[in-house]
């Protein structure tokens, strides 16, 4: 079991913590595997009544590990560890709470769209720079973001790749509250424990009612996965990943030919 996802259970709340601070908590296949297994296990155990996600250090997560992306560029998203995690998250039946302790990039932000309560430190920012990486949105974010924040703000996030700072995310309705960094985790824990103490069947049924019929979202995720897999195999993504790893600006001038 990887130590790069810390798993801790207390008071009916299962805590999952990204713990790869030297790589800005970028998520590897092994980490996705641990997250997916933890969610599957949590859904079968009645003692787990809520799940809390957070990150170690000064970042929530820098998103998918870009070296892994480069290695996956011969394959696709569906059936791969990120795809399995996204599905487990989107279909998870218990309340999900997030404590966003810093930048949440890529899947770091898209996973929040599946959470019920999101708390952020003032240093948190949400960004989905898929286009800049030669990629397309995942985890249903191409549908959920326009729905949640309106088309204009979703376009700034998804097309321009502009980060949304904590306070703006709160104002846009993506974050419940901005909490001082020192209090963030305890606050999120306290909120998760409140959910853990509620009648679970009523809570689960309410979560279902608050979401639109899941088939449409899962179908959109399939469309995204197909486009994502194609993009992952393309020249734009390869150039973006290589440029990041070589610490240089990407050059897309030849990519559209």
Residues 6+ apart with CB under 8 A from 206: none
- Name the residue nearer to ligand COA (CB basis): 55 or 106: 106
Torsion-angle region of 121 (φ positive above 0: left; ψ -120 to 50: alpha; else: beta): beta
Answer for which of 29, 55, 83, 129 binds ligand COA (CB under 6 A) is 129
Alpha carbons 7 and 133: distance in angstroms, whole number: 30
Answer for which of 52, 62, 89, 113 binds ligand COA (CB under 6 A) is 62
- Name the residue nearer to ligand COA (CB basis): 20 or 153: 20
Answer for which of 67, 148, 194, 233 binds ligand COA (CB under 6 A) is 67
Answer for which of 29, 55, 63, 140 binds ligand COA (CB under 6 A) is 63
Q: Edge-to-edge strand order for the sheet containing 5-10?
A: 5-10, 13-18, 50-55, 96-100, 117-120, 177-178
Round to the nearest angstrom and report the end-to-end CA distance of the chain. 45
CB of 7 to ligand COA, least distance (A): 22
Structure tokens at 144: 């959920």
CB of 67 to ligand COA, least distance (A): 6
**8-47: which residues touch ligand COA (CB under 6 A)?**
23-24, 26
Residues 6+ apart with CB under 8 A from 139: 86, 89, 90, 107, 110, 111, 113, 114, 221, 224
Answer for which of 97, 115, 133, 136 binds ligand COA (CB under 6 A) is 133
CB of 176 to ligand COA, least distance (A): 24
Q: Residues binding ligand COA: what is the number (CB under 6 A)?
A: 15
**90-109: which residues touch ligand COA (CB under 6 A)?**
103, 105-106
Structure tokens at 188: 């999120």
Binding of residue 64 to ligand COA (CB under 6 A): yes
- Name the residue nearer to ligand COA (CB basis): 26 or 97: 26
CB of 62 to ligand COA, least distance (A): 3
- What radius of gyration do the chain's Cα atoms show? 17
């Amino acid at each position: 079991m990887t130590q790069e996802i810390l798993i801790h259970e207390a008071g009916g709340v299962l805590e999952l913590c990204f713990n790869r601070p030297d790589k800005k908590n970028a998520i590897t296949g092994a980490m996705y595997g641990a997250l997916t297994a933890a969610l599957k296990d949590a859904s079968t155990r009645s003692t787990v009544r809520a799940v809390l996600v957070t990150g170690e250090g000064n970042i929530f997560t820098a998103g998918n590990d870009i070296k892994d992306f480069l290695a996956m560029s011969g394959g696709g998203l569906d059936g791969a560890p990120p795809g399995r995690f996204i599905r487990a998250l989107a279909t998870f039946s218990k309340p999900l709470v997030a404590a966003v302790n810093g930048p949440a990039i890529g899947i770091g932000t898209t996973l929040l769209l599946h959470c019920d309560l999101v708390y952020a430190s003032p240093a948190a920012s949400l960004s989905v720079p898929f286009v800049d990486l030669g990629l397309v949105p995942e985890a249903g974010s191409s549908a959920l973001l326009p729905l949640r924040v309106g088309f204009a703000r979703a376009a700034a996030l998804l097309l321009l790749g502009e980060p949304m700072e904590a306070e703006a995310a709160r104002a846009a309705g993506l974050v419940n509250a901005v909490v001082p960094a020192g209090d963030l985790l305890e606050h999120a824990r306290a909120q998760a424990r409140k959910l853990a103490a509620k009648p679970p069947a009523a809570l689960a049924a309410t979560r279902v009612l608050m979401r639109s019929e899941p088939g449409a979202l899962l179908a959109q995720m399939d469309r995204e996965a197909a486009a994502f897999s194609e993009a992952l195999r393309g020249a734009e993504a390869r150039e973006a990943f290589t440029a990041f790893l070589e610490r240089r600006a990407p050059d897309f001038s030849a990519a559209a030919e």
